[in-house]
Structure 1
Amino acid sequence: MAQVRPYGGVEAAERLADRRRRFIDAGLELLGGEAVPADLTVRAICREAGLAARYFYEGFTDKDQFVGAVFDAVIAELAATTQAAVAAAQCAEQNRAGMANIVHAVASDARIGRLLFSAQLSNSVVAAKRAESGVLLAMLYGREIGMALRVDQGERASRKGMATAHFAVGGVGQTISAWLAGDVDLTPDELVDQLAAILDTITRPRLHGGD
């Protein structure tokens, strides 16, 4: 295989990664900005990224794949930092640590909140990605609930844990969406307190006495 020469001292792989990062940043700006474009076009994406159209098709087959890649990149980063925050916290403070990381990330960059939670963003790919990520988070949280409650991992316990997990994940998402829309008048720290208290109640063993 012929070796690709560096251009301007930058290797081909680095240039490709840099262009992809610029496209992802452009997608977050367009999808998570205050004024969502009625019709997201490749031309608009390239203009925001400052790159030619040929580079768009170097990394993405079409607009739908691009939107999916933007969502995946944003939620992967948020999930990684949230997981790290939870892992670093004491057991009793893990719900608070997770909620604090999510709320503060949304508060510091409103684009993230709009992309992941805002009801005003009606892009069909984003809607599908939200559902997909919600199922994954519910599965992970369901496992954590089972561990917290020390329940047997039987079929019935598993069903109950998953039901609780879907309720928790859906409730958190809906609450953050309402907060972003201004329907919940709380400061970021007050929102963290409220969400953490609710999750603590859900995972408190004494409230789940028996079948």
Structure 2
Amino acid sequence: MGRAGRNEDPAAGGVYRGRSAQERRAERRERFLAAALAQFGDRPGYRHASVAGLCEAAGLSTRQFYEEFRNLEEVLARLHLLVNEHKERAVLHALAGAAALPFDQRVAAVLRGYITAVTEDPRRLRIAFVEIVGVSEELERQRLVRRARWVDLLVAEADRAAACGELAPRDFRIAATAFIGAVNGLLHDWTAGQFDATLDQVLAELTTLLLGAVRPPSPR
């Protein structure tokens, strides 16, 4: 019988070098995801990546990869969710900080929080708006589900503004859906280098677009 807390064979699932099997697996997943963020979000890109190359970048074995993930698509799916969770936290934080501001200023603050969160690391931007598109039916469903969450958040905020008299009450879902589609298209093209613009220019355009979408046109 050995002492409690002794180092054990890692394959046995016990404590090894002071860390549990669960801690070691979590560390491996983080290393794989960090390597994937670098490879998918920069070069070579998801479509040219390989399990062997990812393992080499992570400093781990292919056996360890397949203990954590089925394939590279599962890694990309997890990265996509992490990027969206990061954006969502930033938006909710911006909403809380701008709660007392007029609607126009709340909109600008929330959009700045969103765009800053997604553009502060160009690799996240590429994964969210370029690499995820058209990979598979499963990933398209995931992408559309996450987009629907953003539509729901926008509709809820517009409904709150209408309840406070800041907007005329109406069904905002079509406008919110159109706006989210415009955001995705704009950021995709911006990321792909289709046009040159600063963050502030993109923010100003999106703010104007959103305000125009949720407000009825002024009578002539």
Same fold (TM over 0.5): yes
Task: Give how far 1:199 is off.
Answer: 1.7
1:105 aligns with 2:117: yes
**Larger RCO: 1 or 2 (CA < 8 Å, sep 6+):** 1
Task: Give how far 1:184 is off.
Answer: 3.4
Distance 1:123 1:54, change over 3 A: same
- Rounded Cα–Cα distance in structure 2 between residues aligned with 1:168 and 1:20: 35
Distance 1:7 1:91, change over 3 A: farther
Q: What is aligned with 2:167?
A: none
Matches within 5 A, 1:38-117: 38-89=47-98, 90-92=101-103, 93-117=105-129
Q: Which amino acid aligns with 2:184?
A: G
- Rounded Cα–Cα distance in structure 2 between residues aligned with 1:208 and 1:145: 16
1:189 aligns with 2:200: yes
- Rounded Cα–Cα distance in structure 2 between residues aligned with 1:148 and 1:86: 12
* Conservation of the 8 A alpha-carbon contact between 1:119 and 1:177: no
Distance 1:18 1:91, change over 3 A: farther
Q: What is aligned with 1:25?
A: 34
Q: What is aligned with 1:6?
A: 15
* Conservation of the 8 A alpha-carbon contact between 2:125 and 2:191: yes
Distance 1:57 1:117, change over 3 A: same
Q: Which amino acid aligns with 1:139?
A: D
* Conservation of the 8 A alpha-carbon contact between 1:138 and 1:169: yes
Distance 1:119 1:174, change over 3 A: farther
TM-score of the aligned structures, taking structure 1 as reference length? 0.80
* Conservation of the 8 A alpha-carbon contact between 1:114 and 1:121: no
* Conservation of the 8 A alpha-carbon contact between 1:178 and 1:184: yes
Match of 2:151 among 134, 138, 143: 138
Distance 1:28 1:49, change over 3 A: same
Could you list the per-position Cα deviations for residues 101-156 of structure 1 after superposition, in whole angstroms to 9, with x for gaps in the alignment?
Answer: 232234331111111113796533554432221122112222222222239xxxxx
Supply the RMSD in Å over aligned alpha carbons. 2.8
- Rounded Cα–Cα distance in structure 2 between residues aligned with 1:120 and 1:147: 32
* Conservation of the 8 A alpha-carbon contact between 2:41 and 2:131: no
Could you list the per-position Cα deviations for residues 171-193 of structure 1 after superposition, in whole angstroms to 9, with x for gaps in the alignment?
Answer: 11111112222333321122112
TM-score of the aligned structures, taking structure 2 as reference length? 0.77
* Conservation of the 8 A alpha-carbon contact between 1:23 and 1:45: yes
Structure 1 gap ranges (5+)? 152-156
* Conservation of the 8 A alpha-carbon contact between 1:23 and 1:46: yes
Q: Which amino acid aligns with 1:40?
A: A
- Rounded Cα–Cα distance in structure 1 between residues aligned with 2:73 and 2:21: 26
Q: Which amino acid aligns with 1:203?
A: V
Structure 2 gap ranges (5+)? 1-11, 165-169
Q: Percent identity?
A: 26
Distance 1:75 1:195, change over 3 A: same
